[in-house]
Chain A
Amino acid sequence: MVKATLPLLAALLLGACNPEPAPLVTVNDARVTALPTSAAVYFTLANSGGPDRLLAVEAAGVGRASLHETSMDGAIMRMRAIDGGIEIPAKGQVQLAASGKHVMIQDLAKPLAPGSSIRLTLNFERQGNVTVNVSVGGPR
């Protein structure tokens, strides 16, 4: 409950006293790598407005989607859920790419078929929900 209301409260407060211009984030080059039990979604967020933050993702009917980040610690690969979302600076770009930040989809309802597409909803702190079509491809 507290978890759910805090971002909302933060968003309201930000909206009330933030003089920044409205964000205008577009989602480009979205693709999802289909694997038997999980999938990774990559895209570029291009912002032509004020700052925003990608808080959460949802892939309804596809599987459990969450924001993840792969990082290298010496030679060791670690993957963790991203807490607090992904910041998108004003007039900035953020890339979700292999071996870095990505959307992970677990518990796939059924294997993704290359050539098809899935719908992914991105929840931004200020801009709200944006739903995009993501084309399914093999690993590369």
Chain B
Amino acid sequence: MNLGRIRLILWLLVGLVAIAGLIIALRGPPASREIVSSQSMSEIGGPFLLTGSDGQPFSSERLAGKPYALFFGFTHCPDVCPTTLARLAKLRKQVGKGDDAFAIVLVSVDPERDTPAEMARYAGLFGTPVIALTGSTPAIEGIKALFGITAEKVPQPGADYTVDHTATTFLMDAQGKFAATISPNEGDEAALAKLKRLTST
């Protein structure tokens, strides 16, 4: 192999490395969009004070003694939110320990539109008890930070808006401590196993 050819191969390698570097740089840090990126698992959750669907203050203390599955959503969400809640309702039946096995908690990320009455109407659609919570904007910001989730208003055609938000379900144990998450693209079987574990003690 002559020197010219070696030089060519070396330059090709340099080019490849440069292109790879560029691709990695353009994609950005891969973990930046993951939940719990800024929080360790044990820091997820904690005491909160919101507003129940009866309009009365709702303290997280009322959830103590029983595990719960907490999900963020909003009533103007026709697709993922009802699908997630209907799935949790179905899985709770499959766990086979009744509605008391764990609570299903929906927290609004759209406090502007989600009045307690709206939350009550929405929660009533699932044929099973759902604790539907809303609150003042600062209160909602507080619980978003507590669970390390994001939710942001996105304008839509017409004077309307939607809310992009973390669609993870948080499983909390009877002491209110973080136990696990269920992601929307996780299969029913894996989700059911987690809920059975959550309710096994």
Q: Say yes or no: is B141 at the interface (Cβ < 8 Å to chain A).
A: no
Would you call B184 and A99 a contact (CB within 8 A)?
yes
Q: A64-B158, A76-B166, A77-B184 are in contact. Are A98 and B79 (CB under 8 A)?
A: yes
B window 172-190: CB within 8 A of A: 183-185
Within 8 A of A (CB), among B143-178: 150, 154, 156-158, 160, 162, 164-168
Residue of A nearest to B156 (CB): A81
Quick one: CB contact mask for B111-130 with A, threshold 8 Å, 1 for yes? 00000001001100111000
Does A45 make an interface contact (CB < 8 A)?
no
Our pick among A64, A75, A98, A99 for the contact of B166 (Cβ within 8 Å) is A75
C-alpha gap A81/B158 in the complex (Å): 11
User: For residue B156, which residues in chain A have a CB less than 8 angstroms away from its CB?
Assistant: 81
> Which of B41-49, B80-88, B96-104 forms contacts with chain A?
B80-88
Residue of B nearest to A34 (CB): B125
Contact flag A77-B34 (CB < 8 Å), given A68-B79, A98-B83: no
Contact B79 A75 (CB under 8 A): no
Check if B79 sits within 8 Å of A70, measured CB to CB: yes
**What size tier do the contact residues of chain B reach?**
35 or more
Flag whether A79 is at the interface (Cβ < 8 A).
yes
Residues B86 and A78 in contact, CB atoms below 8 Å apart = no
A34-49 CB contact bits vs B (8 Å, 1 = yes)? 1111111000000000
Cβ of B78 and Cβ of A39 under 8 Å apart? Answer: yes
Asked whether, in the complex, the Cβ of A74 is within 8 Å of the Cβ of B33, the reply is yes
Indicate with 1 or 0, residue by residue over A4-48, a CB within 8 angstroms of chain B CB atoms.
Answer: 000000000000000000000000000001111111100000000
| CA gap between A90 and B126 in the complex, in Å | 39
Residues of chain B contacted by A70 (CB below 8 angstroms): 79-80
Q: Which of A39, A79, A105 contacts B162 (CB 8 A)?
A: A79
CB-based contact B164/A35 at 8 Å:
no
Q: In the bound complex, how far is the Cα of B150 from the Cα of A72, in angstroms? A: 13
Complex Cα–Cα for A139 and B118 (A): 16
- A36–B122 contact, CB under 8 A? yes
Contact yes or no, A36 B118, CB < 8 A: yes
- Chain A residues within an 8 Å CB radius of B34: 74-75
**Chain A positions within 8 Å of B82 at CB level:** 33, 35, 40, 139
Q: Which of A36, A78, A139 contacts B126 (CB 8 A)?
A: A139
Q: Which residues does A use to contact B, with CB under 8 Å? A: 33-40, 64, 66, 68, 70, 72-81, 98-99, 102, 104-106, 138-140
Other than A75-B166, A75-B168, give 12 A-B pairs with Cβ distance below 8 A. A35-B125, A36-B118, A68-B79, A70-B79, A72-B167, A73-B164, A74-B35, A75-B35, A75-B167, A81-B156, A98-B83, A139-B85
Leading 8 A-B pairs by shortest Cβ distance: A74-B33, A139-B82, A40-B78, A77-B167, A38-B78, A98-B83, A139-B86, A36-B121
User: Which residues of B are interface residues toward A (Cβ below 8 A)?
Assistant: 33-35, 75-80, 82-83, 85-86, 90, 118, 121-122, 125-127, 150, 154, 156-158, 160, 162, 164-168, 183-185
17 example contacts (A-B, Cβ-Cβ < 8 A) are as follows A33-B82, A34-B125, A35-B125, A36-B122, A36-B125, A40-B82, A70-B79, A74-B34, A75-B168, A76-B33, A77-B184, A79-B77, A79-B164, A106-B160, A139-B82, A139-B86, A140-B86
